[in-house]
Structure 1
């Protein structure tokens, strides 16, 4: 038993280290994440509310003891209870005493959780013992009172809690109050408080870009939907105009009617944006905020921002960023985050940096034949950007459609450059070269009417179109000149014959007086000559010889002497 208690205590301490978030100027208490992490690690995965209640009691004891805020006076053998109320002065003067003020906020939070878990355990037992339902309601009432105390500590002035902590404490208090009225079957009040909690959690989910945190808000919103429908059903049974409530529940997200609460949400969004702008804890891409937790990725994104400020970055800088980008992508792969928005954002950055590096190489290249390969790499990279599954992570709105149309416009523009250099540099026939230059001019004309291209790119395309038209007519003219030269060649064809073939013709040939006269064909042409015949003796196969059977002597019979010799030599043994 002792070893088991120690292991529990060790696990509890680990949880405490994970959830404590405090700063010098402000205090941030992520209420929902704290309780969800504690619940998942201490029994609620299996519905064991008694285990979770025991954890809350042990943690309360440790917190009070570490803060010196115990409620017992006297000796251990004879102690008396003396209640100590937590006030704002106690909480926010704790820093002067070198104590963490956030731990004072854990006291009402853990007390409320302990009462709530006891109530849920009694709810399970109330199916067989109806009298326990009264005890359940008393425990929920106690949980509501402690949640109200937490809300008061976070919202009353003077306070150092940020807007997020204030909103989370209000949502937590509204949630427990709604559950209390739900169990006491006061449907209208239950609907009012639960709807308030749902509205706050929806707005928090929109304001916080951290996926690990926002998932708890979404889960809580999903948990509240069936409870709100049940309240609406019971309100409708009583005829208290529930049709409008049900209609609102089916469609848009709940609106916050309290102006003070709405202003706090605006303040939360502003604080979050300022904090993330300093620490680069999120990036905004295609209208969506993406949380960045890994320090290595943050450093890489800061390097990208510094590179974009430069007017003329170097190829070495871009290549260094490409290597860093590959390392950051590998970090997410090792963490099994290959299906996150941040992973696809890094893939986009890798392809974007590849395009920028190749454009810089094109600008500095002296060999036109190398440009074809560079433009092909750019077009391939843009096609890969277009093939990313962005619809799964970003809303299909005007921003995403505009982004994809810009990529399409750039692909067509770079195809115009590629066709021009293939037709100009490639070793093709004049017809193929003219066709490619004509296609390049068509691409340019198509891009000049596209509103998604930058003006600088359009100016370059205008120049390319003029060059393509000029080079097209130049190649066509050169081909006509080459064909006319081929038709005039037969007039002097006699001068090209060797002298041995035109001895009966007189042609003025100045090369005869020089040492390079064309006298004979060399090497000489081959001509057929007769070969030595081959003889095959095939007559023997057709000759019939006479029979020699008569000449063969008939065998003679052996005499008595031969028989005796054979018997003496061992022939009798046969």
Structure 2
């Protein structure tokens, strides 16, 4: 009969393009059409007559009566959800007639679902299987739990939701569990957690533990049906019951952050931290094995740890949000403990993310030029038999760009750590983060410098390498005075070991000297090239004062045929010429006698009118 799939599919299809009002209108039409098919619909202008409750005989005759009962229950449930959605934006809680109407609709839906359970329980008549009965029982318990939730009857609500949860988990072992997972995560588990909180159940208990304790074990028939599907589901050892961590007996009860130990009061956080510890142990084993060779395979081993760490961070944030919604102030000790836990969990998550980037960078965090990851796995025999292949420059630059992207991601992750609560006030941690950032900044500058070296830009490479060396020196000064507790065999994370920082420091020292030598050689070659180009047309006879370091050009000894050229003349020849050339001199000042003489001469020359004539 597949009751759960029928209900969940109908809800998803309606809510995908609409809301609860759309779902309610669809159910009204489906219910009317179903009654028409069963020939029990009230005719137009006819008097309404109350229908008899569904029976096992009717179900055995026609399975449409099953759909009729489900449509009836869903219509009442959708009607109630529509009213809740309309009043969800109200600042005050839903009270008065609206709340009473919602409760009455949910109660009607629960009664319809419970009638279906009673009818299906007669398996000899209806032919229903145990799975069908369990699905109907879980559906009825879930609707009844929603009714008791609105009535604020927390213990019966917890019992109903616990019944639904145990049944759905048992059914997921023999059926496809995707639909059950959605119901558990979206509806049942949050309701159990809130009802448990209202019932003063400790938050240290996991939801599975709360459900087992609230499950009605007095119902022998239901217990027997569940044990048929999963005999271990209802069994719980005393140690697990005391710890409240079902399935994770070694879950941590406290977490330490910067010499502060905080008690973990939320079971979801403890379970997530236990999963993180387990994934970390598996990561260490996998990296220590000889099977992992390629950096991509080593980075893939970090995925499980990152997922578990993200779950722990999400669980911590969810716990903080729940307390804030309940009106708990920031000064409350529970909020303070959760904030410390949140900082610690997020720090470890970002630390593993940085470790994954370091593994992808290659050996020694990508400090070596040939330490980039390869794309294929090669055995030792093949590597020894084949000659090393020269990689083209373009491929090398592309790999260097990939490294720079990883370093940028690492530096962004370090900056995100500084934004966590409480980190800004921790000066020692800030110094450590700044030194770590300088270490990766040095690696980034070294990588960019190598790309400039490959493109014959030696001066740029020298400047970047010198900057990388300065950054590394500052990081080395910090790490040399602070001992690191991590071992050399542990997986990479944000912590930098002494051997790694010393290796980079020595490498950069040699790289700086090498780049200086290359720049000097380039300068000498450039000077020689400039001299050669400028003296290429000057014959050797005019360059006898220069030493030909590259050898004399015997094809350019003199200019032939000779050209007429100006000959330099000494200033002595101009001094001798002064004795033979009459240069114009400055005229003396006129006197009285000279003026009279010039007037007499002018009068003697005048003849006739206006000086013309004989």
Asked if TM exceeds 0.5, the reply is no
| Smaller-chain TM-score bracket | 0.3 to 0.5
TM-score with structure 1 setting the length = 0.37
